[in-house]
Structure 1
Amino acid sequence: MKAFENNAFFWQKLDTLYLAGKLVVDQPKNSSHYKYSNLKYPVDYGYLSDTASNGQSPIDVFKGSEKNNLVQAVAVSADILKKDCEIKLLVGCNEEETYEILEFLNQTEFQKAILVRRGDEVPEWASND
């Protein structure tokens, strides 16, 4: 059985959420984190209004310098202080910005993150989606 990971239709759904939403940048590039002033945002950071992640807060977005409006990756973070996991979309980020975002998300001992990059496979079972 083929793996379900990186199904192209999943990424299309994320693109639709991003393109249908309104990006609100509340932390511009190089601004300080609201709690930890030593943490600087490597790219613009904000959220999509009128969306919900885990049924509560809106979907978070890192917006890089590229003119691309496709979701190219998601960062999945686990935070033991907040006792939660979060998903953040990466849009328009070049390789350097993507690396800087991962560094930013992994700076503390309390939070760690991984990156899931966009794939383009369409499993046979999903061909009628």
Structure 2
Amino acid sequence: MSFWTHLDTLVSQHRIIIDRPKGTAHPRYPDSIYPYDYGYLENTTGGDGHGIDIWRGSQPTETVQAIICTIDLQKANNEIKIIIGCAPEEINTIHSYHCTFDQQGLLIRRT
């Protein structure tokens, strides 16, 4: 199986928990508004010790379309963010959300 197939399997085998719906503020940074649904995969472990992060856009698919590899200087960690159900412009918006002063993201699109 390929990297992308493994990610699809991970998403299909773990419930998506959206704990930060589109339009809500970040709990520690109230000026940072989530442009799309953001959450994690239940019973998984990401780079921060919590569930693997996932973004869900407006499209009805749960096939993994892209990932963003992030480096966060404030937290001194790195993570991946899985992206599903997004139109191309939604993926770009999510990528921009992860490119701030303390955090940078590398977008890798599924081909």
Q: CA RMSD in A?
A: 1.3
Tell me which residue corresponds to 1:115. 107
2:57 matches 1:80: no
2:34 matches 1:41: yes
Determine the C-alpha separation between the residues in 1 that align with 2:53 and 2:108: 15
What does 1:1-129 correspond to in 2, within 5 Å? 9-54=2-47, 56-106=49-99, 108-119=100-111
Alignment partner of 1:100: what SS?
A: helix
CA positional deviation for 1:75: 0.5
Determine the C-alpha separation between the residues in 2 that align with 1:92 and 1:54: 23
- Is the radius of gyration larger for structure 1 or structure 2? 1
CA positional deviation for 1:54: 3.6
Give the share of equivalent positions with the same residue, in percent: 37
Runs of 4+ in 1 over 4 A off after TM superposition: none
Alignment partner of 2:2: what SS?
A: helix
TM-score (ref. length: structure 1) = 0.82
Q: For this pair of structures, how many residues does the alignment match?
A: 111
CA positional deviation for 1:55: 8.0
Letter in 2 for 1:113: G
Instruction: Tell whether the 8 Å contact from 2:11 to 2:41 is kept in structure 1 after alignment.
Output: yes
Alignment partner of 1:38: what SS?
A: coil
Per-residue CA deviation, residues 80-121 of structure 1 (Å, 9 max, x unaligned), is: 111111101000011121111011111x311011100113xx
Determine the C-alpha separation between the residues in 2 that align with 1:55 and 1:27: 17
Per-residue CA deviation, residues 17-55 of structure 1 (Å, 9 max, x unaligned), is: 001100000000011111111111111000010111248
Q: Per chain length, whose mean CA-contact separation is higher, i.e. which structure has more relative contact order (CA < 8 Å, sep 6+)?
A: 1
Letter in 1 for 2:16: L
Determine the C-alpha separation between the residues in 1 that align with 2:79 and 2:4: 17
Structure 1's unaligned 5+ residue stretches are: 1-7, 120-129
